[in-house]
Structure 1
Amino acid sequence: METVGGLIAALKAIGLNYGFLLDTAERTAFLRGLRVSLELCVLTIPVSLAAGALLAAMLTSGRRVLAAPARAFVELTRNTPTLVQLYCGFLVLNMLITQWLGQHGGSNPLTPFFWVVLVVSLHKAVFHAEALRAGIEAVPRVTLEAARSLGFSRRQMLARVELPLAVRFALPALVNNLVDLVKMTALASAIAVGDVTYESIMIWTQRDNVLELLLLILAWFGLLTWLVSVAGRWLERRLRMPGYGQ
């Protein structure tokens, strides 16, 4: 702790006030915010990818009853702001659910954290879906004909041939989407989810150290997005197939 105190004193000498780190309550709140932001990323990444794969399958199914609703959802979601979607989900849908459950003697179990995960995941899922759709359509026709000659059904072709190849084709776009998703989790503070942004706001309203906390927020999200980028580059090398995309 003495080392931390010395570092804080040195930073104060150059005009940066990080004294909140010496306050147990404020330090605990800030660290909790870091953890919540990390939890949001860990949850939204797989949920968005799963939803994106489902939407891509619907878009390329060749069945209008599946493709039309998926296309409508994609257009509505990607053409409206994420923050507006979050407000509509939490302030409108959540309120209607609460009222309906209240009329039937129940309570609403859906938390603001849940709505952030759901809305952010679905918002980025439509971008994943478009990237995967492009990847599916890029699968060579001869590959599909070979699968048909082996007796693969449409579902088997999608699961065993098209999606695995589409992921490889679309991986750079998917990684870019995930980097944007990590940054988008900062919207959680808009509905009072205690992520790093929200906790920082609570601290700087008392200490007037906006610059110092913003620098920490930038560093934290920079670290998270860098880790996603590194993982994406590793996957690109790992999943690269000779003869495809060369």
Structure 2
Amino acid sequence: MSMSLAGAEIQTWMIEHGLNLTILWDPADGKRFLFGLVLTLVLALLSIIVSLLIGVAGAALKGSEFALGRRAVSGYVELFRNTPLLAQMYFFFFGIGSLLPMIVNGEGDPVRMVGNFEWAVIVLGLHAGAFQIEALRGSIDSVPASTIEAAQALGLNRLQIFRRVIWPLALRNSLPALGNSIAQTIKATSVAFAIAVPELTYACNRIWSDNFNVPVMIQVLLVTYLLMIGAVSWIMKRIEQGLRLPGLQSP
């Protein structure tokens, strides 16, 4: 009883001082906020996986002898790097999505073949993948020719050189750019708000619309993103330090 009274007094004091943090005492708002946070992390994780797969495949194809493949990758990179992410999201969701046939879900209702969450993963992955290709391709090109020549002198074939020499060095060199791309992808998940994916920004918008606590929830939103990006930056720095090769990379 005393704990409940103390909690009510704290709530009253916070509201009186303009800290209407309903996510702390309103179960519905708390669930909405946590669900949005978890969905943002899942959306970011899936998009990063898609972008890395695209980056590896695209970087390999861009460095191949297949001219048509190189031109296709270059066109893809130019398209997704030079158009706004929001426009891409709208194009795929409303443009391409409207052309797909409807399907019947388990409850017998007609629904889109690809939902808004799936489109968000696809678009974010394609957008970030264009940057991953450039980061990986640049890192591959930065491997010293003398290192490759030394591997050839040891009798390694082309595939062995790429797998055992070029790729490990290129991956290390690309970590700063990859880390930046991952951070950008996490921030870009907020664009999914535009197609009603209930991620963190969408959840906060619903909360401040119901409770008129915009200033407080805006600060919570910004701090939450700052903490997520900070955690990713810290992890990537630890990985860079762990994989650093003395004499080949600057401290």
Q: TM-score, normalised by structure 1?
A: 0.90
* Between 79-88 and 163-172, the greater mean CA deviation after superposition: 163-172
Local SS of the residue matching 2:170: helix
Q: 1:121 aligns with which of 121, 125, 134?
A: 125
User: Aligned equivalents of 1:133 and 1:143: distance in 2?
Assistant: 17
User: Residue 46 of structure 2 aligns to which amino acid in structure 1?
Assistant: L
* Partner Cα separation in structure 2 for residue 108 and residue 156 of structure 1: 45
Q: Is structure 2 residue 87 aligned with structure 1 residue 84?
A: yes
CA contact (8 A) 2:50 2:125 kept: yes
Is 1:220 the counterpart of 2:218? The answer is: no
Partner amino acid for 2:48?
Answer: I
Q: Are 2:245 and 1:235 aligned?
A: no
Which residue of 9, 16, 19 corresponds with 1:16?
19
Q: Find the counterpart in structure 1 of residue 207 from structure 2.
A: 203
**Paired position in structure 2 for 1:34:** 37
8 Å contact kept, 1:59–1:70: yes
When the two chains are superposed, the root-mean-square deviation of aligned CA atoms in Å is 2.1
Choose from 49, 65, 71 the match for 1:68: 71
Question: Percent identical across equivalent pairs?
Answer: 37
Distance 1:107 1:217, change over 3 A: closer
CA contact 1:20–1:26 (8 Å) conserved in 2: yes
**Counterpart AA for 2:115:** T
Note if contact 1:57-1:158 (Cα within 8 Å) is conserved in structure 2.
Answer: no
- The residue type paired with residue 73 of structure 1 is Y
Does the 8 Å contact 1:124/1:181 carry over to 2?
A: yes
Give the whole-Å Cα distance in 2 for the aligned partners of 1:217 and 1:80. Answer: 26
| Unaligned ranges ≥5, structure 2 | 105-109
Aligned-partner SS, 1:194: coil
Q: Find the counterpart in structure 2 of residue 49 from structure 1.
A: 52
Looking at structure 2, the residues matched to 5 and 133 of structure 1 have their Cα atoms a distance apart, in angstroms, of 58
Q: 1:7 and 1:238, CA in 2 relative to 1: closer, same or farther beyond 3 A?
A: farther
**Structure 2 contact 22–29 (Cα < 8 Å) conserved:** no
Which one-letter code corresponds to 2:39 in the other structure? V
Residues 5 and 22 in structure 1, CA contact (< 8 A), matched pair in contact too:
no
Whole-angstrom CA distance in 2 between matches of 1:137 and 1:5 = 62
Alpha-carbon distance, 1:11 to partner: 2.4
Q: Distance in 2 between matches of 1:164 and 1:89?
A: 35
Structure 1 range deviating more: 209-218 or 44-53: 44-53
Instruction: Kindly indicate whether residue 192 of structure 2 is the aligned counterpart of residue 188 of structure 1.
Output: yes
| Cα contact 2:136–2:170 (8 A) shared by 1 | yes
Query: Does structure 2 conserve the Cα–Cα contact (< 8 Å) formed by 1:139 and 1:166?
Result: yes
Q: Give the drift of 1:155.
A: 3.7
The yes-or-no answer on 1:137 pairing with 2:123 is no
Distance 2:81 2:195 in 1: 21
Shift in alpha-carbon separation, 1:153–1:84, aligned structure 2, 3 A = farther
Are the aligned partners of 1:77 and 1:126 in contact in 2 as well (CA < 8 Å)?
Answer: yes
Distance 1:47 1:13 in 2: 46
- Specify whether residues 59 and 22 from structure 1 end up closer, same or farther in structure 2 by C-alpha distance, changes over 3 A only: same
Q: Is the 8 A contact 2:136 2:171 kept in 1?
A: yes
Quick check: 1:244 aligned with 2:219?
no
